[in-house]
Amino acid sequence: MYNPKSLKAEEFISHEEIMRTLAYAEENKNNLENVDKIIDNAAERKGLTHEEASVLLACEDESRIQRIYDLAEQIKKDFYGNRIVMFAPLYLSNYCVNGCVYCPYHLKNKHIARKKLTQEEVRREVIALQDMGHKRLAIEAGEDPVNNPIEYILECINTIYSIKHKNGAIRRVNVNIAATTVENYRKLKEAGIGTYILFQETYHKESYEQLHPTGPKHDYAYHTEAMDRAMEGGIDDVGLGVLFGLELYKYEFAGLLMHAEHLEAVHGVGPHTISVPRLKRADDIDPDQFDNGISDEIFAKLCALIRISVPYTGMIVSTRESKEVREKVIRLGVSQLSGASKTSVGGYSEPEPEDENSEQFDVSDKRTLDEVVRWLMEFGYIPSFCTACYREGRTGDRFMTLLKAGQIQNCCHPNALMTLLEFLQDYASEETKVLGEKMILDEIKNVPSDKVREILVKNLEQIKQGNRDFRF
Ligand code: SAM
């Protein structure tokens, strides 16, 4: 029985409710009067229900799809301005006891090079990331209670936060590790993590069990209920995601929105972010063996619909996507991008030898961080290295309340400009620096409050003189 307030996976992600929703969406997709009404509702910027959003996903009318794109672009501008937050993944260990059939880490894969960073190697990786200019990381690890126990993850987080190299510092560590216990989530919270990210992979229980035939990840309910345990453990910000390509995208989309509705209903705060990874080629993995791959057009439509359905939730696109695809979807609502990512264990400080491959998947966007930053600015976006909200305690419902009241702009925009200037001063090429400094000068004018502008100008001057870490 469908119940968004239930704590049981099978009740808040009810298969029957998803099937009913998809049937309703099919029946109503050509009722253009109703479709227009739903788009009008979305324009109120209060989000859409999974049922409403599913009708829009099913609708194939070109002029309505264009309206959805235009609205997504507008909502993105209203809530997130022209900022794009930058981050990088850091792979700690690819030891894994699970049998996920789409992931090269699976236990039966005997040819992937198994690696786990020592604390000295973590240090080297973090210094390499700091030397590019990164301030925000997402740590990644396979699930292996012997090789990667929670103590190892906590030790790595400690090491990462402790490294101060030149002007570098990692100021926010997000964590993408397997579903765990309330007690372990509490430990992660105490270690000072930002967002806890866990991809659902698929919301379809039967497929989930087939795609995860062995290992602790096989347990659909334990995995699906992880965010509730994380929140019980005190983690304010959680990040959802589906691995598109595993199951039918319409099913996943309805499930994803139901999950967001569930978190809002039970914890009073929806997901902080939604990631939209697509299945990629990897060691021992051929994406063509999976039937449910989605085209770039559908991918863009999904991004736009996520933006208008959950306007307060950040959206993350990784380097799994090419420059061309990223170019299309940042306009439609994406708020965070990774840059210069390596998915191998230890890949930032040392390239892997030819015969040794520990990568999780092939990266499509292989540009340097400097190139990504310059490309964003050429498009009129401000690359932001800001981590202030979480450090100022603006997390969970506090962050959401400010965002909903339109207040967050007073912090995010000046913080983006200050962290961009830090990047330009410390890490950028001359070409990027020239472009960026001009952009900052232009953008100062767009700060609405005189007082904030005054402080911002002073801080920017300080940053030019070598001082760091100012924030609103
Ligand atoms: N081990 C953790 C877990 O079980 O959730 C998470 C870490 S894993 C390094 C991060 C994510 O990579 C997975 O949740 C999955 O969605 C994604 N992934 C796995 N194989 C992939 C592939 N072949 N292509 C693209 N993404 C993949």
With the most atoms of ligand 1 within 8 angstroms of its CB, the residue from 106, 147, 175, 199 to mutate is: 199
Query: Which pairs with CB-CB distance under 8 Å and at least 24 residues apart come from 334-338?
Result: 334/76, 334/84, 334/303, 335/76, 335/80, 335/83, 335/84, 335/85, 336/84, 336/85, 336/86, 336/87, 336/273, 337/84, 337/85, 337/86, 337/87, 337/372, 337/376, 338/86, 338/87, 338/88, 338/89, 338/138
Contact between 470 and 459 (Cβ < 8 Å) = yes
Per-residue confidence (pLDDT) for residue 138, from 0 to 100? 98
3-state SS assignment for residue 341: coil
Contact between 193 and 230 (Cβ < 8 Å) = no
Task: Give the residue whose CA is nearest to atom 25 of ligand 1.
Answer: 279
Domains in the chain: boundaries: 10-76, 81-389, 402-464
Query: What's this model's pTM, rounded to 2 decimal places?
Result: 0.97
With the most atoms of ligand 1 within 8 angstroms of its CB, the residue from 114, 202, 243, 294 to mutate is: 243
CATH 3.20.20.70 fits 81-389, yes or no: yes
Judged on CB neighbours under 10 Å (0-12, 13-18, 19+), 6 is: middle
Per-residue confidence (pLDDT) for residue 292, from 0 to 100? 95
Per-residue confidence (pLDDT) for residue 282, from 0 to 100? 94
Task: Give the residue whose CA is nearest to atom 14 of ligand 1.
Answer: 199
Task: Give the residue whose CA is nearest to atom 4 of ligand 1.
Answer: 178
Per-residue confidence (pLDDT) for residue 50, from 0 to 100? 98
Task: Give the residue whose CA is nearest to atom 5 of ligand 1.
Answer: 178
| CA 360 to centroid of ligand 1, rounded, Å | 8
Give ligand 1 pocket residues (Cβ under 6 A). 102-103, 140, 142-143, 176-178, 198-199, 201, 217, 243, 277, 279-280, 282, 285, 320, 360-361
Per-residue confidence (pLDDT) for residue 405, from 0 to 100? 76
Task: Give the residue whose CA is nearest to atom 18 of ligand 1.
Answer: 103
Per-residue pLDDT of the chain (472 residues; tens, 9 = 90+): 899 999 999 999 999 999 999 999 999 999 999 999 999 999 999 999 999 999 999 999 999 999 999 999 999 999 889 999 999 999 999 999 999 999 999 999 999 999 999 999 999 999 999 999 999 999 999 999 999 999 999 999 999 999 999 999 999 999 999 999 999 999 999 999 999 999 999 999 999 999 999 999 999 999 999 999 999 999 999 999 999 999 999 999 999 999 999 999 999 999 999 999 999 999 999 999 998 999 999 999 999 999 999 999 999 999 999 999 999 999 999 999 999 999 999 999 998 888 888 999 989 999 999 999 999 999 999 999 999 888 888 888 888 887 777 776 778 999 999 999 999 999 999 999 999 999 999 999 988 888 999 999 999 999 999 999 999 8
Contact between 232 and 268 (Cβ < 8 Å) = no
Provide the phi-psi class of 140: left if phi over 0, else alpha when psi is between -120 and 50, else beta. beta
Q: Tell me the C-alpha distance between 389 and 203, whole Å.
A: 31
Per-residue confidence (pLDDT) for residue 355, from 0 to 100? 83
